[in-house]
Amino acid sequence: MFQYLEFCDDILVLEDGEVREAGNHQVLMKANGRYAQLINNYQMEQSKTQKEEEEEEEEEEPSPKEAAELNEDRQRSDSGIVNPVFDMSDENDDGTTADQKTAATAGDQLVSQESSTEGSVSWRVYYHYCQAVGGYIITFLTILIIVLMIGSTAFSNWWLSYWLGNGDGSSTNSTNPGNASDNPRLDFYQMIYGVMILVTLVLAVIKCFFYTHVTLRAACTLHDRMFRKILASPMSFFDTTPTGRILNRFAKDQEELDSVLPLHMDPFLQFCLLVTFTIIIIASVFPAMLAAVVIMGALFTLILFVFQRSIRQMKKMENISRSPCISLTTSTLQGLSTIHAYNIRDSHLKL
């Protein structure tokens, strides 16, 4: 225990329930009080132990290297200090060692500042998410079901317009095709349209269950993987990582995987596919429309390139800025008794 006192910023010597001495190691040694007496007794015990060990080793002839080390130890033992922790030869006037000053100059910190990756989301992130879903086959099946559902919806809309465009089946006037209910192939049109509506409903139900299952599976897999890594981490990880940063990963970031990401990814895929199928249908009827589609596509691509980077950076800053607040709240709750004991509530309220 005594060998670590030199590194303490403040040492209190208690005797009969009262504080007799206070200060760091150097100040108390110069004061030559109770603390200095305890250290001197400890040094004497260490010297006796060393003498006993030397007597036991007298029978063995030491090597030249060991003899040199032994002489150095004896030279340093003039003050009675044997433990190298109490060696004050490398200390400066201000009580700090050269190594401590070097570390302070280098700006070493126990807790590093939280940082985020720069640029767009890497393909490695998408790869890990696909693996958490269940692999590339499950991912492909999920996208295929959504494609079939949107394709059936687009086909039913096109079939309805085709049915109404034929009218009664005998009119050659495109502006007035006639009454569609008088068409002799009415049953055929109704059957095709009814089957496509039924197929769309079945695919929508399958998509809802399947999509919900795979997204929940991905969220649970990533959560369990992160939880196992936290439990298997060494104590140095918890010493250098604030509690708020860990809670933020399991709270807000996990919520993004549980609810926000599936909620936005589903309509994004549906709208993209619906727009694609609509453009294909319009282009098959009116090919000149593709020129306007190219111009609008280039415009929206430019808007996406300009605003996507800032939105992504703001989202990353939001996730990072939440960790210090959680850490402060957690530390305050854990040290609530100390805050009340020292009556420093006002200073913490200002934070």
In a domain, 292, yes or no: no
**Weakest-pLDDT range from 20-34, 60-74, 205-219:** 60-74
C-alpha closest to that of 243 among 158, 310, 328, 321: 328
The three-state secondary structure class of 219 is: helix
Whether residue 7 lies inside any domain: the answer is: yes
Flag whether pLDDT at 140 surpasses 90. Answer: yes
Q: How far apart are the first and last CA of the chain?
A: 37
Q: Are residues 199 and 148 in the same domain?
A: yes
Domain-located, residue 94: no
> Are 67 and 146 members of one domain?
no
Provide the 10 A C-beta neighbour count for residue 149: 23
Q: What is the CATH number of the domain that holds 186?
A: 1.20.1560.10
The number of beta carbons lying within 10 Å of the beta carbon of residue 167 is: 19
Q: Is residue 104 part of a domain?
A: no
Do residues 141 and 226 both lie within one domain? yes
Place of tokens 């049915």: 163
Check whether 311 has a pLDDT greater than 90. Answer: no
Q: Residue 41 domain-assigned? A: yes
Q: Can you tell me the distance from the alpha carbon of 164 to that of 177, in angstroms, rounded to the nearest whole number?
A: 8
Asked whether residue 184 falls in the same domain as residue 269, the answer is yes
- Kindly state whether residue 95 falls inside one of the protein's structural domains: no
Q: Are residues 245 and 344 in the same domain?
A: no
Average pLDDT, the chain: 77
182, 168 contact by CB (below 8 A): yes
Last residue of a domain, which of 251, 285, 319?
285
Q: What is the reported pTM?
A: 0.57
28 assigned to some structural domain? yes
Q: Say if 100 falls within a structural domain.
A: no
Give the count of domains, the chain: 3
Q: What is the pLDDT of residues 267-290, one digit of tens each?
A: 898 888 888 888 888 888 788 888
Q: Over 60: is that where the pLDDT of 70 sits?
A: no
> Does the pLDDT value for residue 263 go beyond 80?
yes
User: What is the domain range of residue 130?
Assistant: 124-285
Same domain (yes/no): 207, 318: no
Identify whether residues 58 and 135 lie together within a single domain: no
Let me know whether 281 and 312 are in one domain: no
Mean local confidence (pLDDT), 76-83: 43
Query: Do 246 and 137 share a structural domain?
Result: yes
Q: Are residues 225 and 140 in the same domain?
A: yes
